[in-house]
Structure 1
Amino acid sequence: MSELSISVTETPTADELATIGGRLTAFNEGDVGPADRRPLAVVVRDEAGAIVAGLSGYTAWGWLYVQWLWVAEEQRGAGLAGRMLTAAETDAKARGCHGAYIDTFSPVALKTYQRAGYVSFGALKDFPPGRTRTFLQKRL
């Protein structure tokens, strides 16, 4: 067996990331079948065309993962997050998804997601320090 070299970097190359991601994807698809991973975004613009809110994630293996959800401060409190979640969930259902998941360490966002029908299935205390990162899911 040849010698192996292990290195740690905070500046991986695009090729290194593509190799790691591509090989893991190939392994997973061989193990459980194709993910059919597809990006999904909801973008909200004001009358001038400026982005004032948005949601970004993807669908894979029958699930919607909401990676980012942001609402500009002046737009908060009007139900926009819930409307974006509904739009993303509707699209995910059209793609054949049966569930959605999201995580947050914001107590305000946690209540928003719970109002939208998401339920907690796990938590990491002190992630970040002084907060709890909560993982939530919803059946679609």
Structure 2
Amino acid sequence: MRWCADNEVPAAALQAIRDAVVLHGRQQTQGSDAQDIACALYDDAGVLVAGGCGRTEFQRLYVDYLWVHPERRGEGLGGDVLRRLEAQALRRGCLDALIETLLDDAAALYEHLGYACIAHVHDFVPGFTRHTLMKVWRPRD
């Protein structure tokens, strides 16, 4: 046997480790129905302007990434992306949604869109607070 570390570990091995941890976690639970979820907005020239992605699982929307092109920020596109992801999740039967951010402005936007902060980790990254926010459409039993 031989140990590898840092740059010696191939990207494929890193992905295999991630996949194995996720698979193990899902095997411990009952009823995983994980599905990718995404939406994207393109301009007339085919350039990506905004988008978001994540997954739905266990009747919850997990938003992993939400992005708006820097030149288009402040136009409400971030809220539009989130509402589209939410609409897809609701059609899939989700009861709530979870999103995290290190940006105070983004956390304020999510709160404006109906999310409530359920956790803070101050100085998660020096100078930044990690905000975990949740939006409940229907309470869980």
**Which bracket does the TM-score occupy, shorter chain normalised?**
0.7 to 0.9
Task: Give the drift of 1:12.
Answer: 4.0
Deviations 1:19-53 (A, max 9, x none): 43454444434432132111111101111110011
Task: Give the drift of 1:111.
Answer: 1.2
1:20 aligns with 2:20: no
TM superposition score normalised by structure 1? 0.84
CA RMSD of aligned residues (A): 2.1
Which residue number in structure 2 is paired with residue 35 of structure 1? 32
Letter paired with 2:131: T
Q: 2:107 aligns with which of 107, 110, 115?
A: 110
Q: 1:60 aligns with which of 57, 76, 79?
A: 57
Task: Map 1:1-140 onto structure 2 (within 5 A).
Answer: 8-9=5-6, 12-13=9-10, 15-17=12-14, 19-140=16-137
Aligned equivalents of 2:44 and 2:19: distance in 1?
41
Letter paired with 1:72: H
The total of aligned residue pairs comes to 137
Task: Give the drift of 1:8.
Answer: 4.5
Q: Kindly tell me: are residues 39 and 7 of structure 1, through their superposed partners in 2, closer, same or farther at Cα, counting changes over 3 Å?
A: same
Runs of 4+ residues over 3 Å off in structure 1: 4-30
Q: Which deviates more from structure 2 when the two are superposed, residues 81-90 or residues 6-15?
A: 6-15
The sequence identity of aligned pairs, in percent, is 34
Letter paired with 2:82: L
TM superposition score normalised by structure 2? 0.83
Q: Kindly tell me: are residues 19 and 75 of structure 1, through their superposed partners in 2, closer, same or farther at Cα, counting changes over 3 Å?
A: closer
Aligned equivalents of 2:4 and 2:116: distance in 1?
39
